[in-house]
Amino acid sequence: MPQMPSAGLRARVALDRHGFRTTHALGQNFLLDDALLARLLDDAALAAEDNVLEIGPGAGVMTALMAERARRVLAVEVDERLAPVLGDVLAPCENATVVYADFLKCDVGALTARAFGDAPYRVVANLPYYITADILLRLTTCARRPASIAIMVQREAAERLLAEPGSKQWCALAATVRYYGAARVLEAVPAAAFNPPPHVDSCFLLIERYANPPVRPANEARFLRVVQAAFAMRRKTLVNNLKSAFGITADQAADVLAAAELDGRVRGEALTLAELARVSDALDQLTSR
Ligand code: SAM
């Protein structure tokens, strides 16, 4: 029996057959190398029972390889011009579905509940780097959070995401991600691995959701707002940032810091997750008075 061509080969043929031209504005730098993608998926430890949400399948090579390993793959692609290419590449993959939509406008909870029911899901994404922060923020704070996120990011973004509290790189996104899960770089991926190659170095990052979050603020939604507020204006003190974000007076903000056992002149960007949670809980006390 003739062997089925690999997903990478199917993609090259389909891109050519349908005359597909990549769009720089959509960050279309595709990965077409079966061996490289298989290794990345090995690193991400996808298992046969996993449901996978892929954001930005592109020509679908990673999608096809995931469909071979996982239970179900739901891919969300913004560019409908890729439909004929994905149709060809994913033809043998009965457990892969593509939805054509802008992921940033999707309701993650509704989308994943429709595809996977109550079952947990993992996210895998090689996305345009200009939406990395937006996507990570949505995934790590939405009501139905994934069990893990394996994502290709620019090397500098990986350094920021792995930043330690109080360091120069520590930022609202790093704090939010650290509250969600443990992040580690799986592999550095050279620009030459992409078609066409981007002008930056990339890293494949795995973030695994904590079974027990590192801090337990009484009101999670408020805590996530405190994290954003703490870094909103970096050179301002936390008192000033709390005033603007929560519409409270300077005296009230100072009381919050005192209740959280923090110096009144502290800057938000210096705080650890535990300290940010104490600020959130102290704000709760203030508003419940
Ligand atoms: N994952 C594929 C791969 O590794 O070859 C494609 C990677 S390419 C860097 C990014 C893909 O994300 C493109 O196919 C692009 O059209 C898609 N994309 C860009 N913005 C998107 C959005 N807001 N929602 C869904 N897909 C998006």
Number of domains in the chain: 2
pLDDT at 253: 94
Which burial class, exposed, middle or buried, applies to 4 when counting CB atoms under 10 A from its CB (0-12, 13-18, 19+)? exposed
The boundaries of the domain holding residue 234 are: 220-287
| DSSP states of 38-75 | HHHHHHTT--TT-EEEEE--TTSHHHHHHHHHSSEEEE
pLDDT > 80? residue 91: yes
CB distance 58 to ligand 1 below 6 Å: yes
User: How many CB atoms sit inside 10 A of residue 89's CB?
Assistant: 28
Residues 202 and 81 in one domain: yes
Residues 97 and 234 in one domain: no
pLDDT digit string, tens, across residues 219-272: 999 999 999 999 998 778 999 999 999 999 999 999 999 999 999 999 888 899
* pTM score: 0.95
Q: CA–CA separation, 173 vs 96, rounded Å?
A: 31
pLDDT at 195: 95
- Amino acid identity at 252: Q
Q: CA–CA separation, 265 vs 27, rounded Å?
A: 42
Q: Which is the closest atom of ligand 1 to the Cα of 125?
A: 1
Q: CA–CA separation, 155 vs 264, rounded Å?
A: 36
pLDDT > 70: percent of the chain:
99
pLDDT at 85: 98
Q: Which residue bears the tokens 């973030």?
A: 207
Q: 101-110 long-range CB contacts below 8 Å, 24 or more apart?
A: 101/76, 101/77, 102/78, 103/55, 103/56, 103/76, 103/78, 103/135, 104/131, 104/134, 104/135, 104/138, 106/76, 108/138, 108/139, 108/142, 108/143, 108/144, 109/142, 109/143, 109/144
Ligand 1 centroid–CA 5 distance in Å is 23
Residue in 33, 56, 50 with CA at minimum distance from that of residue 197:
33
Three-class DSSP labels, 103-150 = HHHCCHHHHHHHHHCCCCCEEEEECCHHHHHHHHHHHHHCCCCCCEEE
| Ligand 1 pocket mutation, candidates 26, 124, 135, criterion most atoms within 8 A of CB | 26
pLDDT at 1: 62
Residues 117 and 227 in one domain: no
Sheet holding 51-55, edge to edge: 96-100, 72-77, 51-55, 122-126, 148-154, 202-209, 181-189
Does 214 map to a domain? no
Residues 55 and 93 in one domain: yes
Does 2 map to a domain? no
Residues 143 and 174 in one domain: yes
pLDDT > 70? residue 104: yes
Tokens at residue 163, please? 């930043």
Q: CA–CA separation, 71 vs 57, rounded Å?
A: 17
Q: Which is the closest atom of ligand 1 to the Cα of 106?
A: 24
Residues 41 and 61 in one domain: yes
pLDDT at 169: 92
Q: CA–CA separation, 230 vs 286, rounded Å?
A: 18
- Please report, for the domain that includes residue 279, its CATH number: 1.10.8.100
pLDDT at 3: 81
Mean pLDDT, all residues of the chain = 94
pLDDT digit string, tens, across residues 145-185: 999 999 999 999 999 999 999 899 999 999 999 999 999 99
Residues 204 and 241 in one domain: no
Last residue of a domain, one of 182, 209, 236: 209
pLDDT > 90: percent of the chain:
91
pLDDT > 90? residue 191: yes
Q: For 56, left (φ over 0), alpha (ψ -120 to 50), or beta?
A: left
pLDDT at 233: 83
pLDDT at 82: 98
Residues 27 and 112 in one domain: yes
CB distance 34 to ligand 1 below 6 Å: no
CB distance 104 to ligand 1 below 6 Å: yes
pLDDT > 90? residue 204: yes
Ligand 1, atom 6, lies closest to the CA of: 58
pLDDT > 70? residue 289: no
Ligand 1 centroid–CA 30 distance in Å is 8
Q: CA–CA separation, 253 vs 247, rounded Å?
A: 10
Mean pLDDT confidence for 114-142: 95
Residues 28 and 105 in one domain: yes
Tokens at residue 242, please? 């709390």
CB distance 134 to ligand 1 below 6 Å: no
Residues 149 and 175 in one domain: yes
Residues 115 and 249 in one domain: no
Residues 6+ apart with CB under 8 A from 119: 51
Q: Which residues is 205 bridged to in the sheet?
A: 151, 185
